[in-house]
Structure 1
Amino acid sequence: MAYGKRTFGIIGLGIFGSTVANELARFGNHIIGIDVNEQAVTNMADKISQAMIVDARDDAALREAGIGDCDVGLVAMGDDLEASILAVMNLKLIGVPIVWAKARTKTHHRILLKLGVDRVIHPELEVGQHIAQVLNNPLVRDYVSLGNGYHVVNFRIPKSLEGRKLSDLPHTKDYNLRCVGVMRGTEFAGQDSTDCTLQGDDLLLLLGQRKDLHDFAESL
């Protein structure tokens, strides 16, 4: 489903918040970023639509800043538990329809869920898990979690598979995996039903559960 340009309110312009704000702005969205730190606001002044010094604990100040008119609000500060909780409560109070928030601890996570946050984010944890998955097996180039235990993993083709037909690989029968396709440079080269011969620089895209993907990777 494609979305048009939307308005995002980013509460907290530290490393995480400013990165999200920059990327959303790059996609052409209208971004209102706020922080109590003057330098953080100054750093973003020419990068997003609006950057203001506002205390998110003050619902009236949030309304005045235009946060109440945003389609989505992101509470990107996680170090100050009280400020994070009050910011979420105020976003709900002023009618922001979708609220995401950053959490630092499990307790913080549980509180945010109780407050009705649509999605709780653990940037450091999620990035750490992602890096560990990639470092754990040198053939794994990257992966994406799809939820419910399923992932799409990007495998480098080892020398043992060069010249093999995609249809000859045991991923479907032995490992309960589905081949999404093969990337050859910037081209999409093949799927399960195609008679694709693997080359040295190919990347194999496989969909499945973590254990099956791990077992397949180990077999290579």
Structure 2
Amino acid sequence: MKYIILGLGNFGSVLAERFTQMGYEVVGVDKNIEKVEDIKSKISLAVCLNVIDRNSLRILPVHNADGVIIALGREFDESLMAYAIFREFGVKKIIVRAVSDLHATVLTSLGVENVIFPEKDAAQKYVMTLELERYVSSYKLDEETYIVQMQVPRRFMGIRLSKINFKAEHNVKLIGLKRKIDVPNLFGMTHKELRVIDTAKGEVDLLEGDIIVVMGELTNLAKFGK
């Protein structure tokens, strides 16, 4: 896959390097020559361009790219102008970084379908690590709702799933359960591997080391996870 990343600040540069590690072809663009020099040996191509100049941006391989990510920092107006230019170029997949709630609202009102808010998302995840002492990972569904993987809270260990009223008592929904089980390899030996186990009938006793997957609002998930 090939992505063009506009803006090589903290977020854009990390994203560019991570994509490169995943095997993607990355073209990084920034108006600051120092940022371009810092990353040019780590990604496919890094160029110094005026990020809101239509003629400058025309040299980019937009029609061969899978998408454009506008990762500009606090330059509110620049991200809007860059989005308009790439729309004019006919780029179908444009992802724009928002730096504030107002910025996100303006982008959405302009028809931007893919708006990301990395600082806000990172802060939310940090809150989860503080609130949920057994937190593993999470996926944001909307502003209020998350799917969270956590180690089974200690107060539920040894309790049968069917005895826990997830919805009525805790306002969360059970999605699944993972457990380390013995898995054989090609040589007939076994090793522990985390697998999803069948919870349809609820006849499963929760054990130390189990990972429970639940969905709900952040406040309810925090209460459930304590």
Q: TM-score, normalised by structure 1?
A: 0.83
Distance 1:69 1:56, change over 3 A: farther
**How far, CA to CA, are the matches of 1:89 and 1:180 in structure 2?**
40
Q: Does 1:156 align with 2:164?
A: no
**How far, CA to CA, are the matches of 1:198 and 1:132 in structure 2?**
26
Could you tell me whether the CA contact under 8 Å between 1:89 and 1:115 is conserved in 2?
Answer: no
Written as runs of structure 1 = structure 2, the 5 A alignment for 1:93-112 is 93-112=88-107
Give unmatched runs, 5+ long, in structure 2.
Answer: 181-192
Distance 1:68 1:183, change over 3 A: same
**How far, CA to CA, are the matches of 2:5 and 2:151 in structure 1?**
37
Q: Does 1:196 align with 2:191?
A: no
Query: Aligned residue for 1:140?
Result: 135
TM-superposition CA deviations, 1:103-162 (whole Å, max 9, x none): 222332233223332222222122112211331232433322223743212222233332
Equivalenced residues, count: 213
Distance 1:97 1:14, change over 3 A: same
Query: Aligned residue for 1:36?
Result: 31
Q: Return the structure number with greater relative CO, CA threshold 8 A, min gap 6.
A: 2
Written as runs of structure 1 = structure 2, the 5 A alignment for 1:1-220 is 6-147=1-142, 149-172=144-167, 174-175=169-170, 177-185=172-180, 186-193=193-200, 195-210=203-218, 212-217=220-225
In the alignment, residue 115 of structure 2 is paired with which amino acid? V
SS state of the match for residue 147, structure 1?
coil
Cα RMSD for the two superposed structures: 2.4
In the alignment, residue 19 of structure 1 is paired with which amino acid? V
**How far, CA to CA, are the matches of 1:143 and 1:132 in structure 2?**
12
Distance 1:102 1:81, change over 3 A: same
Distance 1:106 1:212, change over 3 A: closer
Give unmatched runs, 5+ long, in structure 1.
Answer: 1-5
**How far, CA to CA, are the matches of 2:80 and 2:111 in structure 1?**
11
Q: Which moved more, 1:87-96 or 1:199-208?
A: 199-208
**How far, CA to CA, are the matches of 1:40 and 1:111 in structure 2?**
28
Could you tell me whether the CA contact under 8 Å between 1:180 and 1:191 is conserved in 2?
Answer: no
**How far, CA to CA, are the matches of 1:76 and 1:100 in structure 2?**
8
**How far, CA to CA, are the matches of 1:114 and 1:89 in structure 2?**
13
Could you tell me whether the CA contact under 8 Å between 2:29 and 2:46 is conserved in 1?
Answer: yes
SS state of the match for residue 141, structure 2?
strand
Task: State the Cα distance separating 1:199 from its structure 2 match.
Answer: 1.9
Task: State the Cα distance separating 1:101 from its structure 2 match.
Answer: 1.2
TM-superposition CA deviations, 1:6-34 (whole Å, max 9, x none): 32110011110111112222222221111
